[in-house]
Structure 1
């Protein structure tokens, strides 16, 4: 059996209980060494074999899994955050299906959730925005044209932008081209929930300047939108005394 496990945003205690238990039982761990906190490997048993997939191809990863399966061993494929976001797991699952190897997915806490906790912010503020767009800039690997940064910026929703810290000047230009004003609140969240976590509040136009000042070059998320400022929002109706819900009768008066 292969378990595809979300490692969480970084802090070792933010992996799920199930994920930790799977790491403790694994005979083989293949982890994304360029992104996963190596402290998570402290949960492994003494005789567990460990492979860093940052140095491996898909074919090499699958070969390790096949060898483990032939020996009746259990493998954990450890991905950063939640594996369903930029985890490249579909191609791995297709290869496992082709070989008749059983697998399960253990979800994890995504780094975009870790970034919100680091910022002490809510992405979906009433009367500000009720949508979150998760995307990335096109770089060495393409993005469909219909999903360009500018096209998403036109919505004015909260945006969480992965894998783009090395292209912040271009990112600012695209955000402004799409409709955000240069003064739109933004933030750079470096290694959220890690010991070296750093958050920088800025604007769309000053992303590159602030990243250079703080020497942030990679492993950061970019947050964009009025929700970053955490101001000028309306109180939630769910907890408004005037609002009737399935569980509570409201007064009918707006406060």
Structure 2
């Protein structure tokens, strides 16, 4: 039997892959990440499936659920919000499953930053403006960032910056970022991207912190910083150039 680590997407129940939907609909055990996974998606599990909310479980308890299901001959749909390759804590679970000799695979999902970009109707890489996207986070009450991964180092590149777990710190982060991008640099905050209660805030590094406070956005939000958010005059991609060699 196999543990399937599944990207459950950013929140909209229909933003999952066909493979993910098939596995969820057939797995007799489903572990999911609390309120981050839509109820409608859980409702597609088989009748009588064991549904386990992992929000209040520690890592050892989650591992015990996975191992017990495997030993009982049951496949498991282990749902993580967004895509499990980023900030999912999947690696810690895999390490324990390896030690227990339990097989697993991974099904990718729609990441939160992609859903946010879709809501903004923006490409994050625009010719001549930015061709690099940095996905990172900040550390306050979360795991410390490794040495060398300071926010200022990424901001200095001018790349499109996507921040996770940062919206509560915009008062202090906005001035730090403005030192590199400029006060007038466009910023967008997308809370609960793709969901019915999605909230989008648009502004600059000079005013975004005030908007966040006024809107009461405190969690489940992605912050996007970069000139691509307002880019209008730029070169067409070389891919579609009429003068490139054929």
Q: Name 1:94's counterpart in structure 2.
A: 95
Equivalents in 2 of 1:187, 1:21: separation in Å?
34
**Counterpart mapping for 1:102-141 below 5 A:** 102-141=103-142
The Cα of 1:230 is off from its aligned counterpart by: 2.9
- Structure 2, unmatched stretches of 5+, are none
Task: Compute the displacement of 1:176 (Å).
Answer: 2.3
Rounded to whole Å, the distance in 2 between the matches of 1:58 and 1:68 is 16
Are the counterparts in 2 of residues 150 and 176 from structure 1 also a CA contact under 8 Å?
no
How many residues were matched structurally? 244
Take 2:208 and 2:149, find their aligned partners in 1: how far apart are those partners? Answer: 21
Equivalent residue, structure 2, for 1:252: none
Q: Contact between 2:29 and 2:51, CA under 8 Å: does it hold in 1?
A: yes
- Return the TM-score normalized by structure 1: 0.93
Partner of 2:184: 183
Matched, 1:56 2:46: no
The answer for the alignment partner of 2:21 in structure 1 is 20
Answer whether contact 2:178 2:185 (CA < 8 A) is retained: no
Kept after mapping to 1: 8 A contact 2:187/2:224: yes
CA RMSD of aligned residues (A): 1.1
The residue number in structure 1 matching 2:161 is 159
Q: Give the Å deviation of 1:183.
A: 1.0
Q: Cα offset for 1:220? A: 0.7
Work out whether residues 116 and 123 of structure 1, in 8 Å CA contact, stay in contact via their aligned partners in 2. yes
Partner-residue secondary structure (3-state), 2:34: coil
Q: 1:38 Cα shift?
A: 2.4
Residues 210-245 of structure 1 show CA distances to partners (whole Å, capped at 9, x for unaligned) of 11222211111000000011323211121121222x
Cα shift at 1:52: 1.0
Alignment-derived partner of residue 42 in structure 1: 43
Matched, 1:69 2:70: yes
1:13 counterpart SS class: coil
The 8 Å contact of residues 191 and 198 in structure 2, kept in 1 or not, is answered as yes
TM-score by length of 2: 0.96
Structure number with larger C-alpha Rg: 1
Unmatched tracts of structure 1, length 5 or more: 250-255
CA displacement, residues 175-229 of structure 1 (integer Å, 9 cap, x when unaligned): 124x111110100011111111121111112221111222211111000000011
